[in-house]
């Protein structure tokens, strides 16, 4: 079965239908941008000539890239000219020569042509942790986007270098919140709410950043009593935050924040949206008085594409279809879907489903099509009938992977991502708080058990020895 990128090539040559490429059953194949058929290096060059960064073709094409966005220098011509087979041979040869000295990590949203070389495939946090499991690797090649490589750098050993094959692989959502804007917001919130805790010891605001943010913002959270969350643990993290604070500043993804807070029972009128370009985020003081969660006005351009009309169409075409969407989708889409969850949740749902289940999935197309290929016992298609991959994930191509791996073989570390230790030390605090946070039910059970142990200890009552235990 052709990959997403092969399908895009076929679409631009109007051959996709004739060759029976997979996609939404019964729908014509269409991509959102013919430029997706080009090599990503064409956009490195275009940006160099224009002097402005961009995200390239795909879902975030229309987003404005900040001027400080890293730019990728020119990929040597030999990698641009190489055929797919030649690149495969060169990557395999470099991998074999490097052996355990290198580990390649592939995000779920990467193209199949890159994922096939990955030692680990997963979401950003799973991959950052996977790097730790390969301590012998001197180099971690992260086929994902910039904030993921930063997290891997902060969680990996000092002897390991983290490499991002194309520096232009950022994340438009992560770029929607930068440190100066968040600091300016924080100053206004401090002026509004003060800094003193209430009678229960809860501070006025706890900052919570989504994993999809720069290391500088994770460090801001670490320094200001805040925490990081992922799409899997956002509810647990908000519970953690409300135990310590009266309200939350959630950035950069408004949709994950809103969907999570709403599921926890927080009314929408207590969730003002913060536009960083306007005083008080564009809100009245009265609206801010009621705030339980202040939502940063950021979004993912991939997940913003999903609509309730697509869900209606899927249900009309496939009665009984199971609709699962990612919580980065807008609230009305999450509300209309049967289920919502992280990439890991989606994967496990597909794995656990009885044979013959039909799924309409609202997340990035590379992951959805890979699931369709790996689980042929089901009918799986992307809720969005238009093929529109993440623009920045698209910037990683096997040509860049071959280039950085052959650099390592020569002893040259190309495109290293390094987080300054002054930032990393605070960012790790916010990450560690996340790792220690437990869902309330688990937390309460642990506290009850600890209290029971304390009571027994005070009363001098010995814990009964387990049968078969030493000393029993």
When binding is defined by CB under 6 A, the residue of 171, 234, 291, 333 that contacts ligand SF4 is 171
CB neighbours of 307 closer than 8 A, spacing ≥ 6? 333
Sheet order of strands, 102-107 included: 120-122, 102-107, 139-143, 161-163
How far are the Cα atoms of 102, 416, 430 from residue 86, in angstroms, in the given order? 21, 25, 43
* Tokens matching residue 180: 């100066």
Q: Which stretch binds ligand SF4 (CB under 6 A): 83-91, 300-308, 397-405, 464-472?
A: 300-308
Q: Does 302 bind ligand SF4 (CB under 6 A)?
A: yes
* Alpha carbons 180 and 359: distance in angstroms, whole number: 42
Single out the residue of 166, 231, 392, 415 in contact with ligand SF4 (rule: CB under 6 A): 392
399 contacts 79 by C-beta, under 8 angstroms? yes
**Residue 172 vs 283, nearer CB to ligand SF4:** 172
Question: Coil, strand, or helix at residue 325?
Answer: strand
Select 388 or 401, whichever has its Cβ closest to ligand SF4: 388
* Residue 221, marked binder: no
Question: Taking CB under 6 A as the rule, does residue 130 contact ligand SF4?
Answer: no
Gap between the Cα atoms of 397 and 39, Å rounded: 8
Among 151, 301, 358, 366, binds ligand SF4 (CB under 6 A): 301
Hey, what are 206's tokens?
């706890």
Map the footprint of ligand SF4 across residues 82-111, applying CB under 6 A. 109
- Nearest-approach distance from CB 19 to ligand SF4, in angstroms: 27
Q: How far is the CB of 389 from ligand SF4 (least distance, A)?
A: 9
Verify binding: residue 212, ligand SF4, rule CB under 6 A.
Answer: yes
* Tokens 């399908």, residue located: 7
Closer residue to ligand SF4 (CB): 141 or 329: 329
CB of 446 vs ligand SF4, minimal distance in Å: 33
Residue 10 CB, nearest distance to ligand SF4 (Å)? 23
- Residue 300 near ligand SF4 by CB under 6 A: yes
Nearer to ligand SF4, 256 or 291 (CB): 256
Task: Give yes or no for a contact between 220 and 293, defined as CB atoms under 8 angstroms apart.
Answer: no
Residue number with CB closer to ligand SF4 (151 or 172): 172
Does 393 engage in binding with ligand SF4 (CB under 6 A)? Answer: yes
Longest dimension (CA), the chain: 80
Tokens matching residue 339: 């289920």
**Nearest residue to 231 via CA among 387, 127, 123:** 123
# residues near ligand SF4 by CB under 6 A? 14
The partner residues of 359 in beta bridges, in order of sequence, read 322, 380
Site for ligand SF4 in 313-342 (CB under 6 A): none
Q: Which stretch binds ligand SF4 (CB under 6 A): 89-97, 215-223, 298-306, 347-355?
A: 298-306
Q: Does 60 bind ligand SF4 (CB under 6 A)?
A: yes
Q: What b/e string do you get for 428-444 counting C-beta neighbours within 10 Å, with b at 16 or more?
A: bbbbebbeebeeeeeee
Q: Does 234 bind ligand SF4 (CB under 6 A)?
A: no
Q: Which residue, 63 or 317, is less far from ligand SF4 as judged by CB? A: 63
In degrees, to the nearest 5, what angle opens at C-alpha 302 toward C-alphas 296 and 304? 55
CA gap 423, 119 in Å, rounded: 29
Which one of 7, 21, 156, 172 is in contact with ligand SF4 (CB under 6 A)? 172
Residue 285 has phi, psi (to 5 degrees) of -55, -35
List the structure tokens of 265.
């029972």
Q: With CB under 6 A as the contact rule, which of the stretches 80-88, 113-121, 166-174, 263-271 interacts with ligand SF4?
A: 166-174
Query: 316: closest CA among 106, 24, 12, 102?
Result: 24
Q: Is position 145 an interface residue for ligand SF4 (rule: CB under 6 A)?
A: yes
Nearer to ligand SF4, 35 or 406 (CB): 35
CB-CB neighbours of 279 under 10 Å: 9
Contact footprint for ligand SF4 (CB under 6 A): 60, 109, 145, 171-173, 212, 300-302, 364, 390, 392-393
For the annotated binding site, the residues are 107, 124, 171, 210-212, 231, 300, 326-328, 343, 390
């Amino acid at each position: 079965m052709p990959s997403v990128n092969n399908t895009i090539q076929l679409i631009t040559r109007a051959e996709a239908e004739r060759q029976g490429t997979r996609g939404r059953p019964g729908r014509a194949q269409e991509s959102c941008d013919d430029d997706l058929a080009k090599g990503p290096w064409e956009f490195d060059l275009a940006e160099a000539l224009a002097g402005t960064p961009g995200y390239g073709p795909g879902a975030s094409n229309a987003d404005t890239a900040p001027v400080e966005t890293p730019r990728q220098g020119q990929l040597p011509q030999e990698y641009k000219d190489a055929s797919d087979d030649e690149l495969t041979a060169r990557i395999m040869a470099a991998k074999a020569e490097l052996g355990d000295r290198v580990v390649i990590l592939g995000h779920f949203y990467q193209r199949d042509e890159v994922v096939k070389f990955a030692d680990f495939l997963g979401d950003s946090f799973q991959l950052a942790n996977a790097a730790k499991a390969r301590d012998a690797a001197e180099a971690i090649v992260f086929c994902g986007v910039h904030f993921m490589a930063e997290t891997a750098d902060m969680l990996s050993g000092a002897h390991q270098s983290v490499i991002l094959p194309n520096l232009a692989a950022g994340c438009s959502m992560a770029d929607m919140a930068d440190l100066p804007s968040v600091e300016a917001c924080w100053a206004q919130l401090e002026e509004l709410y003060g800094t003193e805790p209430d009678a229960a010891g809860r501070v006025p605001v706890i900052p919570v950043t989504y994993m999809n943010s720069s290391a500088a913002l994770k460090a801001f959270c670490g320094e200001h009593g805040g925490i990081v969350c992922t799409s899997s643990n956002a509810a647990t993290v908000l519970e953690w935050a409300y135990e310590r604070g009266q309200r939350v500043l959630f950035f950069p993804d408004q949709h994950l924040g809103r969907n999570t807070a709403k599921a926890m029972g927080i009314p929408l009128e207590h969730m003002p949206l913060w536009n960083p370009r306007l005083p008080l985020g564009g809100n009245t003081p009265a609206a801010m008085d009621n705030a339980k969660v202040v939502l940063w006005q950021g979004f993912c351009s991939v997940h913003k594409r999903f609509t309730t009309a697509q869900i209606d169409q899927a249900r009309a075409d496939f009665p009984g279809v199971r609709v699962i969407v990612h919580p980065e989708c807008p609230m009305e889409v999450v509300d209309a879907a049967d289920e919502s969850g992280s990439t890991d949740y989606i994967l496990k749902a597909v794995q656990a489903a009885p044979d013959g289940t039909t799924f309409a999935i609202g997340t990035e197309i590379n992951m959805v099509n890979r699931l369709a290929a790996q689980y042929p016992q089901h009918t799986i298609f992307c809720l969005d009938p238009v093929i529109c991959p993440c623009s920045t994930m698209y910037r990683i191509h096997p040509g860049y992977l071959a280039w950085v791996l052959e650099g390592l073989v020569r002893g040259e570390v190309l495109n290293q991502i390094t987080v300054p230790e002054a930032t990393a030390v605070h960012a790790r605090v916010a990450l560690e708080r996340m790792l220690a946070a437990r869902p309330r039910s688990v937390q309460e059970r642990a506290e009850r058990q600890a209290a029971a142990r304390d009571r027994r200890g005070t009363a001098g009552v010995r814990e009964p020895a387990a049968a078969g235990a030493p000393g029993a």
